[in-house]
């Protein structure tokens, strides 16, 4: 009987005491052969109980190969690279400390890599509330809605096929041998940056809804704003390396943030600009109300209806502000990459 490929599941984590145990339990329930799968968790000098939870899991599961390594760089790409170097698998499955993979997740990743011969594969998120209550439910709903998420297939669903990006991703080790490791100068958007390099080299990223994972969203508005500010900021950092990777869906919140700031200032001085800003805000309000109503009805959760417009606006403004600040801070590298 032919042995299945050895799979290394690599997890960067830092101060994830609340979720890391659930992630490891979900990995323990994988249907993939236990002897052909290892787990490597790279801890970024956690100050809570994350390291202890990983150690407790390893001690309670002696039949599992579980290693905790140190990540002095503390960022996700630094942790991924440290775990990649410490791992042995011919297939690398990147996992997140907020993700709960379905029992067949690893099996489906390996199958998709074998059947498609793509350089990377990934699947669909089901986004879960990060806490009890309507605010957390509204955040989870907005993060999986096209109006909030920008229509990316892994958040909203769709048919199998080639895409720009997938969550986390599974790869053959040979991809890293050819293209190098994750870019540690892109501390949040490192996966998209790596996928861009794959596409630049002529490779393909494949999405299939058969690969399923549940993702635990942020629990409150402050955490959500910080998350999307970071997403926008790091998108600008990534663009300083790869200016051609921007997509229309990513420019819309950036343009909206500029319009709110510049439009408000202009509206004070000019009646036509005030009318124009009012018209744009009215259109935005109509779209926000429509998608909010649709999300609340589809989830049969009327309590989130008045919260969703606030959450949508917070996502869009936080991302847009983060993008422009990130672009300003990395303008030198951005313009050098254009010349």
Q: Where are the alpha helices (DSSP H) in 131-220?
A: 134-143, 146-149, 153-156, 173-179, 190-200
Host H or E run for residue 61: none
Q: Which residue is listed with tokens 């500029």?
A: 258
> CA-CA distance, 244 to 241, in Å (whole number)?
9
Contact 91, 176 (CB under 8 A): no
Span between the terminal Cα atoms of the chain, in Å:
55
Paired residues of 7 in beta bridges = 37, 91
- Give the per-residue pLDDT at 264: 66
Structure tokens at 243: 């200016």
Burial of 288 (0-12, 13-18, 19+ CB in 10 A): buried
- Mean pLDDT by groups of 10 residues along the chain of 339 residues: 89 93 96 95 94 95 94 94 96 93 96 95 89 94 85 73 89 95 86 90 94 89 92 79 67 76 66 76 91 95 96 92 84 56
Helices 134-143 & 271-298, crossing angle to 10 degrees? 100
Contact 78, 104 (CB under 8 A): no
Contact 30, 99 (CB under 8 A): no
> CA-CA distance, 79 to 83, in Å (whole number)?
6
Ordered domains of the chain (ranges, CATH): 7-122+157-210 (3.90.550.10), 243-337 (no CATH)
Burial of 290 (0-12, 13-18, 19+ CB in 10 A): exposed
> CA-CA distance, 268 to 209, in Å (whole number)?
49
Separation in Å, CA 147 to CA 68, 328, 331: 39, 26, 29
Separation in Å, CA 307 to CA 140, 155, 202, 292: 12, 20, 43, 8
Strands 91-94 and 7-13: parallel
Q: pTM higher than 0.85, yes or no?
A: no
Paired residues of 86 in beta bridges = none
- Give the per-residue pLDDT at 268: 66
Q: Which residue is listed with tokens 């101060």?
A: 15
């Amino acid at each position: 009987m032919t042995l299945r490929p050895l799979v290394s599941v690599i997890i960067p984590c830092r101060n994830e005491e609340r979720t890391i145990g659930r992630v490891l339990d979900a990995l323990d329930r994988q249907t993939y052969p236990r002897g052909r799968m290892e787990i490597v968790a790279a801890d970024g000098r956690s100050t809570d109980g994350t390291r202890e939870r990983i150690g407790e899991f390893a001690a309670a599961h002696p039949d599992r190969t579980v290693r905790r390594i140190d990540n002095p760089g503390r960022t996700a790409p630094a942790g991924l690279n440290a775990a990649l170097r410490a791992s042995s698998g011919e297939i690398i499955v990147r996992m997140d400390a907020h993700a709960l993979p379905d029992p067949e997740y690893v099996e489906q990743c390996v199958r998709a890599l074998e059947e498609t011969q793509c350089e990377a594969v990934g699947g669909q998120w089901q986004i879960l509330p990060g806490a009890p209550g309507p605010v957390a439910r509204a955040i989870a709903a907005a993060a999986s809605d096209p109006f909030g998420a920008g229509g990316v297939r892994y958040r909203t669903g769709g048919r199998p096929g080639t895409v720009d990006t997938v969550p986390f991703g599974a790869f053959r080790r040979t991809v890293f041998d050819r293209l190098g490791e994750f870019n540690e100068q892109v501390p949040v958007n490192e996966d998209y940056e790596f996928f861009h390099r794959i596409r630049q080299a002529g490779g393909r990223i494949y999405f299939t809804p058969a690969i399923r994972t549940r993702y635990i969203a942020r629990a409150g508005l402050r955490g959500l704003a910080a998350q999307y500010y970071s997403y926008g900021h790091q998108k600008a950092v990534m663009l300083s390396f790869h200016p051609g990777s921007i997509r229309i869906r990513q420019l819309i919140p950036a343009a909206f943030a500029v319009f709110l700031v510049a439009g408000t200032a202009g509206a004070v001085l000019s009646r036509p600009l005030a009318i124009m800003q009012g018209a744009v805000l009215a259109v935005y309000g109509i779209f926000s109300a429509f998608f909010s109503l649709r999300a609340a009805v589809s989830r049969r959760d009327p309590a989130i209806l008045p919260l969703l417009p606030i959450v949508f606006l917070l996502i869009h403004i936080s991302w847009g502000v983060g993008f422009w600040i990130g672009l300003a801070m990395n303008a030198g590298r951005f313009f050098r990459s254009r010349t």
